[in-house]
Amino acid sequence: MRLRFLALFLFFFFALSPLFAASVLGFWKTIDDESGLKRSIVAIYEHDGKVFGRIIVTFDEQEQVKDTIYRPAARAEKLPQQPYMAGLDIIWDMQEDAAKARWHKGKILDPKKGKVYNSELSWNQERQCLQVRGKIGPFGRNQFWLKTVAEDFPEDFTMPDCREWTPKIPAL
């Protein structure tokens, strides 16, 4: 009986693990904590078994498109070499922890401040969104990113094929 239970548990554990991975991958809308306005769209993608996140669209104060990966304009002025915001990897090296249904041990960059934090990603079932946690030691802060819909993208925007991407970790 125990062997059967263990076999069943292992089957479901490994069968559901890819479903968790898929739940964080895709396009996510970031929301400003203070104003509640959308700030950017981040593509979360997998490369060599780790998860990364790249800004592909940014928005201005009126939620109008500021720039895209195809027409970058704004720069991350607090970073060395001041790379474009659109096209910047802000999440990198996230490792899967299927037992806790999260990605962890990675980094997240606040491009406006030029600061890097330890990070975790997980699906928040209650809010139906991606929970993004930045941490310094035991202290941290959560942001909740929303799954994008077609209306979030510019009309002429071509969805990128993230499967072909190679991570570009910014110089810090």
Assess whether pLDDT exceeds 70 at residue 22: no
d(CA 121, CA 124): 9
Using CA of residue 160, residue 163, residue 165, residue 171, what is the dihedral sign? Answer: positive
pLDDT for 37-91, tens place per residue? 999 999 999 999 999 999 999 999 999 999 999 999 999 999 999 999 999 999 9
What is the pLDDT, as a whole number, of residue 1? 53
Does the predicted model carry a pTM greater than 0.85?
yes
Question: To which residue do tokens 């990966």 refer?
Answer: 69
pLDDT for 107-120, tens place per residue? 999 999 999 999 99
**Full DSSP string of 96-138:** EEGGGTEEEEEEEEETTTTEEEEEEEEEETTTTEEEEEEEETT
What is the pLDDT, as a whole number, of residue 14? 41
What is the pLDDT, as a whole number, of residue 99? 95
Domains and CATH numbers, the chain: 2-164 (2.40.128.520)
Q: How far apart are the first and last CA of the chain?
A: 55
